[in-house]
Structure 1
Amino acid sequence: MGFFKNLFTWWEGASLGTTLFSWRHGVTVGEDSNGNVYREGAGRRWVIYNGSNDVSRVPPDWYAWLTRQIDDVPERALPPAPKFLKDPMPNLTGTPLAYRPSGALERGGHRARASGDYQAWTPD
């Protein structure tokens, strides 16, 4: 099923045409931590995704290489990352780990009463 699915769809990885073009004209220049493979050839640069085709899955350093903001691969063209830099977090919206404020229904639906100079509006 994988071959036929890949033959007729483009959103689940490289199509047959992209695979043949990459094999014939491309040279692998690197791979990122997500398993995406970066290729160059025939005056072009492209990525073969490991999974669905989504540009948000390309790290910023490789994105700079793809868009020709840097000339060489990121390992040689960019300085090392600072020690305090954290790994990016995916968007957690819609998951059980999403942020829910105190008034959210998932947290009971009740929030602390307002205090201080707040006075609710009432129609007169």
Structure 2
Amino acid sequence: MLKDLFTWWNGATIGIRFTVGRRGVFIGQDENGNKYYEAKDTKDSYDGRKRRWVIFDGYAEASKVSPDWHGWLHHTFDEPPTLEPLKRQAWERDHIPNLTGTVHAWRPKGSIARGGERQKATGDYEAWRPE
């Protein structure tokens, strides 16, 4: 209960849940468990379009929103991906969230997170020494 009151990064606060529950209509859910909502009317809109929200499943990280839902949230697409999925090209890869700062982040050989040891290279830097 206290976590929902004071932490916005763990999904949504109680205030947002109340606002979305009162003013929003559930539109769909993505493969990551994020839930998407749209306002019932344009009452609090500044540009005449209905507001759209995402309630993250777990930690709130914008890169967890897939490209099709991102386009819908930002009014690039009128129809949500549940009604009209984004056409994918054969060369496109699946969406993955930004893993920087997590235990799943890529750590190259020689990085401090992997022990800091790497093989010596021929073009290694040599520090300048005054003569």
Provide the TM-score with structure 1 as the length reference.
0.71
Gap runs ≥5 in structure 1: 115-124
The one-letter amino acid paired with 2:10 is: E
Deviations 1:62-108 (A, max 9, x none): 0110110111102433444345533234546775773525xx37585
Distance across 2 between alignment mates of 1:96 and 1:19: 30
Alignment length (residue pairs) = 114
Higher relative contact order (CA 8 A, sep 6+): 2
2:108 matched to 1:100? yes
Residue pairs, 1:57-76, within 5 angstroms: 57-76=64-83
Provide the TM-score with structure 2 as the length reference.
0.67
Gap runs ≥5 in structure 2: 42-49, 124-131
RMSD: 2.9
Deviations 1:30-65 (A, max 9, x none): 111110000001321001110122211111110110
Check the 8 A contact 1:65/1:71 in 2, yes or no: yes
Check the 8 A contact 2:67/2:95 in 1, yes or no: no
Range 15-24 or range 28-37, more displaced: 15-24
Based on CA coordinates, which of the two structures has the bigger radius of gyration? 1
SS in 2 for 1:77: coil
Residue pairs, 1:1-124, within 5 angstroms: 3-41=1-39, 42=41, 43-89=50-96, 90-91=98-99, 95=103, 98-101=106-109, 104=110, 106=115, 108-111=117-120, 113=122
| Greater helix content | 1
Check the 8 A contact 1:71/1:77 in 2, yes or no: no
